[in-house]
Amino acid sequence: MENQEQPHMPGSVTCTAHHRAISDTMDLLSGKWKIRIIGELIFGKRRFGELLGGIHGIAAKMLSKELQDLETNKMIRRTVLQTKPITVEYELTPYGRTVTPIINAMADWGHQHRELIVKNHEKEDQPA
SS3 call for 88:
strand
CB 41 within 8 A of CB 47: no
* Predicted pLDDT of residue 5: 47
- Express each pLDDT in 72-125 by its tens digit: 999 999 999 999 999 999 999 999 999 999 999 999 999 999 999 988 877 777
| The model scores a pTM over 0.85 | no
Mean pLDDT computed over every residue of the chain: 88
Pairing of strands 46-47, 87-92: antiparallel
Q: Place 4 in a pLDDT band, splitting at 50, 70 and 90.
A: very low
